[in-house]
Amino acid sequence: MTSTIVVGLDGHGSGERALAHAEHLAKLIGECDLIVAYIVEWSPYSFQTPEENAERHKRREEEISTAKERVVDSSIEKLITSGLKATGIVRHGDVATALNAISEENNAIQIVVGRSSEGGFAKRIFGSATSNLVMSASVPVTVVA
Amino acid sequence: MKNIQTLLLSLMAIVGFSGSALAQEAMSLDQKVNEVFAAVTGPFVSLIFAPLPGTSFPWIVMWLVVAATIFTFYFGFVQFRFFKHAIQLVKGDYSDPNDAGEVSHFQALATALSGTVGLGNIAGVAVAVGIGGPGATFWMILAGLMGMATKFTECTLGVKYRNEYKDGTVSGGPMYYISKGFDELGLPGGKILAVLFSVFCILGALGGGNMFQANQAHAQIAGIVGDYPGWITGIIFAAVVFAVIVGGIKSIASVTEKVVPFMGLLYVGAALIILLVNFDKIGWAFGQIFDGAFTGLGVAGGFVGALIQGFKRAAFSNEAGVGSAAIAHSAVKTSEPITEGFVSLLEPFIDTVVICTMTALVITISGQLVMDPATGQFLLNDAGTAIQTIGGVSGVALTSAAFGSSISWFPYVLAIAVILFAFSTMISWSYYGLKAWTYLFGEGKTSELTFKIIFCVFIVIGAAASLGPVIDFSDAAIFAMAVVNIFALYFLMKIVKKELHSYSSRLAAGAIKKFKN
């Protein structure tokens, strides 16, 4: 039976290390597919100007294609050249919720993420995306330093 | 960003250095602006506010209330039947997770609200209660509840007939639903009505969406730092608005959009605290509201005076029937236009039934309105046009005094709130006006820039003119939009009814997918 691992990327160095670790795991497991996920942080409860609303659909498409081009596609390519099966997903939403949803939809056995790089005031109040994921995920989570 | 700072700093320097010598000259400039403005807009204002023959009741107020009543009955009290469903929609219970990243119902509602919640709720209510007495509140709440059905009608149409362009942007509003809807029904004159609406929308954007805001923001600042010429406030405001809408400095707008809801909550919170502290007077205040609604308690024009003021301010505050909200709501992501109609009916509720009522209660409880203790009737001011107030204040200054009598430092918070509300309303209306402008003159850089510059010039005029002519013109321009919009809605309402039937039967049959519980 094939197993699946979800890797969460954030476009930074920690994402790269998460990817490398997931690649290593997949090779050890053997029959293992990888899903490379990039989450565009977004909340349906934010406040916007009328103009931003009018252009929202256009911006969303742009955000998705930028994430694909800059982060997801190159990662998939790298995995495929090293002999693994990999697919990519770009989605908007809360990072922890979206990664967990992706892992549930694909019956993943594990989520691998980098330690998040955000900091400051917001982190103190709401916690980082990584710690939120660790606390709420329904599958094991590996956090790569 | 650096440029604006320099600009603002140099403006401040001018203001500081040239002080009193300039003030003399400026006062006369303010007066001149005022005179010319009143003369030019006078005939338009008298036409819109002409009384019904043989009465003192302005026909336009009747027009709005009759429309709200007709829509309420025609859609079988949709505002009460679908109130709960509207809240579920805003919470996202029916939102497809695959649409994450698109404009949500919540965002469309919040954007529309930040265009309407503002001075109408703070200054407008004070004007209504100051002239019409506490009884005006009763009619205001009634008009707010009925207005929910009007808003539902126009916003459903706004989404249904919006333009979706190839580049992924959307444009919607009465000008689109009037022309497309009339074509679909095979009715003539849609295009003419759409053009007429756009003309009034531009005037409304310059009036209520701009001059009234600038004027009251200036009144607030002058109330705190002392009197100084209005055009100075005007130029500073115009510079900041210019930076946002022409310079594309989005950060200013997005900061405002985040601070404004917070200010709104703070305002309601402060009102609630004042009401809680004076909870023994709440019963009395409601008594005043009901008594005043039917007897007037001695206000100018008796109970009809209270009714006119209540209806007028409700319409001005929540803009139901005006058509502006249809522009704001039309960007939402949904395959069911009617869902946005349901969501939009929450707007008059939050704006008028909740926030305006808070203001009215605080003013009533504060005792700022002078009452003859012997008769229980209000005393009128010397001119006999409004109720006497402590210190003779009106408009936003009355609200400020009322809050200040319980929480001494609140006027400062209120001043900041008023300035921010004024600013966010200007940003919203600059967009509504722009959409009407591009509908008339086509999209394109030059055409858009022309409107934006005119818009900024009017900020200066609005801040310099005095409240009377500005409020008259602002009301008149916004109500003129409602004349065209509601006329068209009578023809288009059967389209909305069809949507309502289809949606409610599918909802009852469980065919509308719920994603969250």
Contacts of A47 in chain B (CB under 8 A): 107, 110-111, 114, 257-258, 260-261
Q: What is the C-alpha to C-alpha distance for residues A51 and B114, in angstroms, rounded to an integer?
A: 13
- Nearest chain A residue to B330 by CA distance is A54
Give A64-89 pLDDT, tens digit per residue.
Answer: 999 999 889 989 999 999 888 999 99
pLDDT confidence of residue B18:
43
pLDDT confidence of residue A36:
93
CB distance B102–A55 less than 8 Å?
no
B123 is a domain residue: yes
Runs of H (alpha helix) within B336-409 = 337-344, 346-348, 357-366, 396-404
What is the CATH number for B121? 1.20.1740.10
B250 is a domain residue: yes
- Nearest chain A residue to B428 by CA distance is A50
Quickly count helices (H) and strands (E) in chain A.
7, 5
Q: What is the C-alpha to C-alpha distance for residues A44 and B103, in angstroms, rounded to an integer?
A: 7
CB distance A49–B100 less than 8 Å?
no
B457 is a domain residue: yes
Average confidence (pLDDT) over B215-242: 87
Q: Are B515 and B94 in contact (CB under 8 A)?
A: yes
pLDDT confidence of residue A126:
57
Provide the residue count of chain A.
145
B60 is a domain residue: no
Give B31-72 pLDDT, tens digit per residue.
Answer: 777 788 788 888 888 888 888 887 777 888 889 889 999 999
CB distance B101–A98 less than 8 Å?
no
Long-range CB contacts for residues A53-56, cutoff 8 Å, separation at least 24: A53/B103, A53/B107, A53/B108, A53/B111, A53/B328, A53/B331, A53/B332, A54/B169, A54/B170, A54/B171, A54/B331, A54/B431, A55/B168, A55/B169, A56/B101, A56/B102, A56/B103, A56/B331, A56/B333
Find residues 107-166 of chain B whose CB sits inside 8 Å of chain A: 107-108, 110-111, 114-115
DSSP assignment of B82-120 equals THHHHHHHHHTTT--GGGTTSPPHHHHHHHHHHHHSSHI
Q: Taking the CB of residue A61, how many other CB atoms lie within 10 A of it? A: 13
B333 and chain A: CB distance < 8 Å anywhere? yes
B88 and chain A: CB distance < 8 Å anywhere? no
Give B144-201 pLDDT, tens digit per residue.
Answer: 999 999 999 999 999 999 999 888 889 999 999 999 999 999 999 999 999 999 999 9
ipTM of the complex in this document: 0.85
Give B358-406 pLDDT, tens digit per residue.
Answer: 999 999 999 888 888 877 788 888 777 788 888 778 888 899 999 998 8
Contacts of B104 in chain A (CB under 8 A): 44-45
pLDDT confidence of residue B442:
87
Quickly count helices (H) and strands (E) in chain B.
23, 4
Q: How far is A39 from chain B (nearest CA, A)?
A: 11
Task: Please count the residue pairs, one from chain A and one from chain B, whose beta carbons lie less than 8 angstroms apart.
Answer: 90
Give the strand pairing for B163-164 and B170-171.
Answer: antiparallel
Q: What is the count of structural domains for chain B? A: 1
Give B437-482 pLDDT, tens digit per residue.
Answer: 999 998 888 999 999 999 999 999 888 877 677 778 877 888 899 9
Contacts of A48 in chain B (CB under 8 A): 103, 107, 110-111, 254, 257
Binning pLDDT at 50, 70 and 90, where does residue B19 land? very low
Q: How far is B362 from chain A (nearest CA, A)?
A: 28
**Average pLDDT score over chain B:** 86
Q: Are B130 and B360 in contact (CB under 8 A)?
A: no
B254 and chain A: CB distance < 8 Å anywhere? yes
pLDDT confidence of residue A118:
56
Look at residue B318 and tell me whether its pLDDT is greater than 90. Answer: no
* Domain interval for residue B164: 36-48+76-508
**Which of B10-14, B38-42, B202-206, B397-401 is predicted with the least confidence, judged by mean pLDDT?**
B10-14
Binning pLDDT at 50, 70 and 90, where does residue B27 land? low
Q: Are A51 and B248 in contact (CB under 8 A)?
A: no
B6 is a domain residue: no
pLDDT confidence of residue B468:
73
Could you say which residues of chain A have pLDDT below 70? Answer: 1, 11, 116-127
